[in-house]
Structure 1
Amino acid sequence: MSGPYPPEYGVGPTGPQMYPGTGPQPFPAQPFPEPYPENVGSPYPGMLPPPVPYPKKRRWPLIAGALLAVLVVAATVAGIVLATSGGDGASGSGTLTDASAKAAIQEYLDAMTNGDDETVARHTLCGMFDAVRERRSDLALAGLASDAFRQQYGRAEVTSIDKVVMWSPHQAQVLFTMQIEPSGTSRRGQPRTEGEQQGVAQLLNQNNEVLVCSYLPRTAGQY
């Protein structure tokens, strides 16, 4: 024995010895997946359809609808407040009655008959006459309206208030009947109206003064 270890330990005089058949062995092959084969046909026949764009949500119609609803509610509330309180300018004024409506319409018709342009303009400006600085155009329009009225009617007297439609305690639309006489200066060919005729007037009661904001006769030829 040439060393301290017996031969069965596989140790020789120059170091450990390799036993037969015990050399380094290669690692076993790993089960890696095979690469995806190329040129595989598509299961979908023909060309793929184009991508469908996702519809975007439109927010402007929703915002506009919300704003419109807010405006409607605000207008309704303002109308209720004005109808119940009459506004600051109508404070202290009473409600419209048949008697006050008849008196105001008669005053307006008399001003038209007599050519009182200032009274006509005070009515048609509907409460703004005292606040208007330049009144020449308003007086000119009142003069034209008076001339047209006198060419058709020589006299008009309110005989009855037929219907009052209240818009608020201080505003109303009135249907009335008047006894009229034809004008002696009517144009040739113009029909001479005589007898009873209805008219429509829009009235405002402001500061205990009833004003005829607009007037429209209901003639037989109107439709």
Structure 2
Amino acid sequence: MAGPIPYPESPYPESTPRQPYPPAGMQPPGLPFYPGAVPAAYPGTLPPPVNYPSPRRRGRLVLIAVLTLALIAAIVVTVVLVRGRTGDDQVTVTDSSASAAIQGFLDALTNGDDETVARNNSCGFFDAVTDRRSDMTLANLTSDAFRRQYASVKVASIDKIVTWSPTQAQVLFTMRATPAGRGQGEVERQGIAQLLIQDRNILVCSYLPRNAGQF
């Protein structure tokens, strides 16, 4: 008997050609490549998220900063202006300046200087008044009454200055006066004067003797 009968060759050719195996150590073609693990940015737990200010809050902070700078600038300007006004040439009510102002007013009363008396009594309004007849009449009556009481008056001392404001003060003073029409010598009398600083001048707005009526 003859040997085994060989199988006949397949009548259908192979549809896909066989791929040769790659050499050892190489990846077969067609397989995806997976890289190694990428190291994390933080080795441990991630830090908490940062709370950034919202645009509205940021705008409010900018507005507050601008207002603060404006306030500081206004304060600086005010201080500069105040220092400029309170320089060495500022007029203030002191014992010396009060004595000079009161003495000038008393001299006007003694000499019958009605305009000076009216200018003081008007307390800063004299130059702005259009009709001064009533002011001049009152000044004439005041000086006439004063001359009937005293022949001469001199300020002896400033006893007390009560400051109402930087431009107003009330002054208690002592004066030596020679009574009119009498043979007696000088007498001392106290009086109260209300002073006002106006246009770098000290005006005697009113004069009130302690032992008589107001002039």
Q: TM-score, normalised by structure 1?
A: 0.53
Partner of 2:211: 219
1:156 corresponds to which of 153, 158, 168: 153
Task: Give yes or no for the alignment of 1:209 onto 2:201.
Answer: yes
Q: Which runs of 4+ in 1 moved over 3 A?
A: none
Secondary structure, aligned partner of 2:189: strand
Deviation at 1:219, TM superposition (A): 1.5
Instruction: Give the whole-Å Cα distance in 2 for the aligned partners of 1:213 and 1:142.
Output: 12
Task: Label 1:181 to 1:100 Cα distance change in 2 as closer, same or farther (>3 A).
Answer: same
Whether the 8 Å contact between 1:121 and 1:138 is mirrored in structure 2 is yes
Pairs within 5 Å for 1:134-213 = 134-184=131-181, 194-213=186-205
Deviation at 1:95, TM superposition (A): 2.0
Q: After superposition, what is the alpha-carbon deviation per residue over 1:6-56, rounded to whole angstroms, capped at 9, x for unaligned?
A: xxxxxxxxxxxxxxxxxxxxxxxxxxxxxxxxxxxxxxxxxxxxxxxxxxx
Task: Report 1 or 2 for greater relative contact order, CA contacts < 8 Å, sequence distance ≥ 6.
Answer: 1
Whether the 8 Å contact between 1:152 and 1:193 is mirrored in structure 2 is no
Identity of aligned residues (%): 64
Whether the 8 Å contact between 2:91 and 2:201 is mirrored in structure 1 is no
Instruction: Give the whole-Å Cα distance in 2 for the aligned partners of 1:166 and 1:174.
Output: 9
Deviation at 1:166, TM superposition (A): 0.2
Secondary structure, aligned partner of 2:140: helix
Partner of 2:101: 104
Instruction: Give the whole-Å Cα distance in 2 for the aligned partners of 1:179 and 1:134.
Output: 36
The Cα RMSD (Å) is 2.5
Partner of 1:49: none
Deviation at 1:193, TM superposition (A): 8.8
Pairs within 5 Å for 1:1-223 = 93-184=90-181, 194-219=186-211
- Structure 2 residue runs of 5 or longer lacking an equivalent are 1-81, 83-88
